Structure 1
Amino acid sequence: MNINLFFKIIELMKIELFEIIIINNKKAFEESLRKLEFLFEKL
């Protein structure tokens, strides 16, 4: 597992969570979950 990739994913998660809090949108939340699932499949 590439540690740099892992930290990039953590940063992406922070950004996604921030957007979800601001938007407070179920659709945005579902899209974020799909993106995270996709990223973790790559690891």
Structure 2
Amino acid sequence: MSIMGSKILHAIIHKIFLVEFVKICEEIRKNLRKACDNYQIQY
């Protein structure tokens, strides 16, 4: 595997990881908001 090839592969993996990470963060944020809303309704 050439250095250029591994750099491109690394960039692709990095980009995919970032996109997935953002999605996961959004999900967590939504779930936290729901939990906070439920908590406020109870109290």
Q: TM-score range by the shorter chain?
A: 0.5 to 0.7
Greater radius of gyration (CA): 2
Which consecutive unaligned segments of at least 5 residues does structure 1 have?
A: 25-43
Number of equivalent positions: 24
Paired residue for 1:7?
19
Shift of 1:11: 0.1
Q: What is the root-mean-square deviation in Å for CA atoms of aligned residues?
A: 1.1
Paired amino acid for 2:30? F
Whose helix proportion is higher, 1 or 2? 2
TM (norm. structure 1) is 0.52
Shift of 1:18: 0.2
Paired residue for 2:40?
none
Q: Hey, which bits of structure 1, 4+ residues long, moved more than 3 A?
A: none
Shift of 1:9: 0.2
